[in-house]
A and B are shown apart, each in its own frame.
Chain A
Amino acid sequence: MDLINAVVVLLNYTIIPALTYGSQLALGAIFVTLIYGILRFANFATGDMMSFGTMFAVLLTYYFQSIGINFGFLPTALLTIPFAIFMMILYMLIIDQTVFKYYRIKKSPPVMLAMVSVGVMFVTQAIIRIIIGPTDRRFLDGEKFILKATEFKEMTGLAEGLTIKSTQMITIVVTIIVVAIMFWFLNKTKTGTSMRAYSDNEDLALLSGIDPKKVVLITWIIAGILATIGGILYGLDKSYRPFVYFNNMLPIFAAAIVGGIGNPYGAFFGGYVIAFAEIFLTYAYKRFLVYILPESLEPNSLMQLLSTDYKFAISFSILVIVLIFRPSGIFEGKRI
C-alpha cells in the first residue's frame, strides 16, 4: 500500500506535470529545430512567434465566449486553433517575404540571420503588446479537472490523491497527435522527403529539382502550426503573458540543442529531458520518501536537491554540460 502511495505521489507531483511541460517544450523545440535545419538560422523570435499565435487564440476565445459559442467540456480555445494557425502562418510568411528572404537569397551567414531575427523579435513583441497588452490572461474554460484528488481517494481508498487537470490531458494528447502527423509527413510524403533532402544538402537538393520556394513555404506552415499549438497549450495550462513566452524561448532552445539541433526527433526528446530534469531536481522528495523508507529513516528536511528558484538554471546547466561534452547533442544533430 505504501509503495502505491509513493508511486501516486510521484505521478501526481512530478511525472504528469513533467510530461505536460515536456510536451509544450517539445513542440517549441521542434519549431526551433525545423527553422534551424531548413532555413539555417537560430530564430530568436521563437518565443514571441508562439506568443503571437496564442494572442489570436485568446482574443478569439473571448469573442466566441461573448457570442455564446463553446466546446462543451473542452476549452473553447481548441476551437480557435485553426484561425490562430492561419493568422500565425500569414504573419510568418509576411515576415519571411519582407525580412528573411533577402538574406536567404544573398546567402548571408547564419549569424546575420540570427541578428535579423532579433529585430523580428522586437517588432513582434511590440505588435503583441500594442494589440493585447502585457498583462496576465487566463482563457481556460470548460471542465478544469478530469480526475480530482478527492474522487481518486474515494475510488481507490489510498491516502494520496491523484489530480489530472484537463489541460494536462489535452496537452499530452494533442502533442502526440501533432507530432505523429508531422513525423509521418516528414518521413512518408514526397514533400517531407524533399524537405529532409534540402536540409541535408541544399545544393544537391536543388540539383535534383526540388523547388526551394516550396520547401521554405512548407517549413513556415509547419512551423506556424507547431508554434501556435505549442503556445496555446502552454497558455491553457498556465496562463498567457507575453513576457513569459519570451522567457520560454530559453528552455526551448536548451531542449532543441540538447536533443541535437536540426534533428526533430532529438528536439522532441530534448523537451522531455529538460522538463523531467527541471522537475525531478527541484521536487521535494520528503513525502515520497516517507512512504518508501522505514520509519526510523524518515527524513527531517524537505529532501530537495535544489530550490525551485533554480528551475530555469537547471535546464541551462544541462545545456552547458551537453555543449561541452557532446556539442552535436544527444542525438546526432543537423539532420531532418
Chain B
Amino acid sequence: MRNYLNIIIAYSIMLLLIILVGIFQSWSIALTIFNYCMISAVMTLGANIQWGYAGLINFGIMGYTALGGLAVVLVSVAPVPEAWSEGGVNMMTCLGIIILMIFSTRYILKNIQKSNRRNYLVAGIIIVGLILIKIIAGPAIEQIEAVDPAKTGFLGGLGLPVLFSWIVGGLFAAGLAFIVGKVALGLRADYLAIATLLIAEIVVSIIKHEDWLARGVKNVIGLKRPAPYEIDLQTSPWFINLVEKFHSAKLDLANSLSERQDILNQLVIDASSVYVKLCFAGMFLVVVIILLIITQKALYSPWGRMMRAIRDNEEAASAMGKNVVKQHLFIFILGSAIVGIAGAMMVTNDGLFTPGSYRPMRYTFVIWVMVIVGGTGNNFGAILGGFVVWFLWVEAAPIALFFINLFTAHLPETNEIKIHLINSAPYFRFLLVGIGLLLIMRFRPQGIIPEKIIKQ
C-alpha cells in the first residue's frame, strides 16, 4: 500500500481540482474537462509505451490522432450512393493499383539482387503506378466532389456503429506506424523525432486536401454518437421525471406553476448535457481502465522486462539474442495504435471531424509534455500527466485572468496595459505549460510519478 501512496495522493488532488471546477464553474465544464483528460490520458499511454518502455521518440502523434479521427468518418458515416456510382469503380481500381504496386515492389526487392536494374525497376513501377492513378482517379475525384458538395461531396463511410471505429482507428494508426517504423526506426533519436513530425504533417495534409475521402477542410459534422442525443433526452418523460426527483427541493421553492415549469425546463436542458457527458465519461473510463490493466500487465511481464533491457542497453540486449529491430517496430506499432484509438474517441466525443484543427502544437507537443510531466515509463504517471497538463491547458486562461486582475486591480479600467493583458489571457496557457515542462525537466526529470521497477 505504501508503494502506491503517492499515486493515490496525486490522483485525489487531481479529482479534487476537477470537482472544484464543477462547484465553481459548472458541472458541464468539469465533465468536458474530465472527458478530454481521459482522451489525453489514452494518447499519453500510447506515447509512454513508445518513449517510456522502449525509448523511441515519436513526434508524429498528430498524424495517428488524425487517422483515428478519419476512421470514425469512414466507419460510421452513411455511404453516399451517388458518389459511389459516379466514381466508386475508379477509386477501387486505384486502390487495387496501389496494392499491386506494393506487392510487385516487394516481390522485386525480395527476388532480385541489389543492383541498378532493381532500382530502375522499382522506380519504374512507382512512376507508372502514379501516372495510372492520376489518370484514373482524376476525373473520378472531380465527379465525386461534384455530388452535392455542400453536404456530401465524398464517398461516405460504411454506416457501421461508431464504437467499431475506435478499433478501426487503432488499426489505421497501426498501419501507418508500420510504414513509418520500417522507414524511420533505424534513425538516431533526434532524426527520428524530426522524421515522425514531418510524416505526421504529410498525413494531415493528405487528409486535409483529399476532399473525396473525408471532405477535407470542409469538415464532416453530425457524426453518430454512442450516447443519446440531448434533444431526445429533453423530450423523454423518464428523463424529465428523473430530473424532477433529483431537484425536488429546488422546484418546491417555486412560487407558481409556470415558474416551476420554467425552472424545470432549464434544469432538464442542463441535466441532459451533463447526462450525455457522463455517458461518454463512462465509456472512456472503461477504455482507460482496460488499457491500464493491459499495459501494467505487459510492463511487468517478461516482454516488458525485455523492452526495458533494450531501452537501457541496446547492444547488450542484442547480444543476448533479442531482436531489437523487430521489438522496436512492434512497440512503435502498439503505441501508435493506442494513440489512434484516442483520436477516434476524441472525434466521437466532439461529433465532428475537422482536419484543419490538427496542429502539431496541440496534438504532438502538448501530449509530449504530458508524458514527461506525468512520469516516463510509468502508466499511472502517464495518465496523471494527461490529466494535469490538460487541466492546466484548459484552466490556464481563467487562472491567468484571475492573477491579471489581482495585480492590476489598482489600475483604472481604461489602462492600456491592463486591457492588453486581459485580451492576451488565453496565451498564458503556453507559458504555463512551457514553464511547467522546463521546471519538471530540471528538478524532477523522472516525472511526477517516476518509473518503479519491482524486483522479483
Contact = CB atoms under 8 A, between A and B. Distances in A.
B53 to A, nearest CB: 15
B180 to A, nearest CB: 9
Contacts of A134: 427
Given A133-B424, A254-B198, A121 B441 contact: no
B184 interface: yes
Contacts of B209: 307, 309-310
A313 B206 contact: yes
B382 interface: no
Contacts of A99: 438, 442
Interface in A250-272: 250, 253-254, 257, 261
A320 B209 CA distance: 20
Nearest to B216: A309
Scoring B183, B191, B429 by chain A CB atoms within 10 A of each residue's CB, the highest score goes to: B191
Given A115-B368, A118-B365, A123 B195 contact: no
A323 B427 contact: no
B16 interface: no
Interface residues of A, number: 44
B438 A120 contact: yes
B437 A313 contact: no
Nearest to B435: A123
B363 to A, nearest CB: 14
Given A250-B198, A257-B191, A327-B191, A118 B368 contact: yes
Given A129-B424, A130-B424, A313-B205, A323 B434 contact: no
A18 interface: no
B438 A246 contact: no
A129 B434 contact: no
Given A129-B430, A130-B427, A320 B183 contact: yes
A110 B193 CA distance: 11
A129 B429 CA distance: 11
A168 to B, nearest CB: 26
A119 B438 contact: yes
Given A114-B193, A115-B441, A122 B365 contact: yes
Interface string B165-209: 000000000000000000110110111011101110110011011
A312 B430 CA distance: 25
Contacts of A246: 361
B428 interface: yes
Nearest to B438: A119
A120 B434 contact: yes
Contacts of B372: 115
A252 to B, nearest CB: 10
Contact of A110 (B184, B190, B369, B437): B190
B198 A253 contact: yes
Contact of A122 (B193, B424, B434): B434
Given A102-B442, A115-B441, A323-B184, A126 B190 contact: no
B57 interface: yes
A319 interface: yes
Contact of B57 (A111, A130, A312): A111
A116 B438 contact: yes
A119 B441 contact: yes
A129 B57 CA distance: 28
Contacts of A127: 431
B205 to A, nearest CB: 5
Nearest to A314: B202
B427 A129 contact: yes
18 contacts: A99-B442, A114-B190, A120-B434, A120-B438, A122-B433, A123-B430, A127-B431, A130-B421, A130-B428, A133-B423, A133-B424, A253-B197, A309-B208, A319-B195, A320-B199, A320-B202, A327-B186, A327-B191
Given A111-B189, A125-B434, 5 more contacts: A122-B435, A133-B424, A317-B202, A323-B184, A327-B186
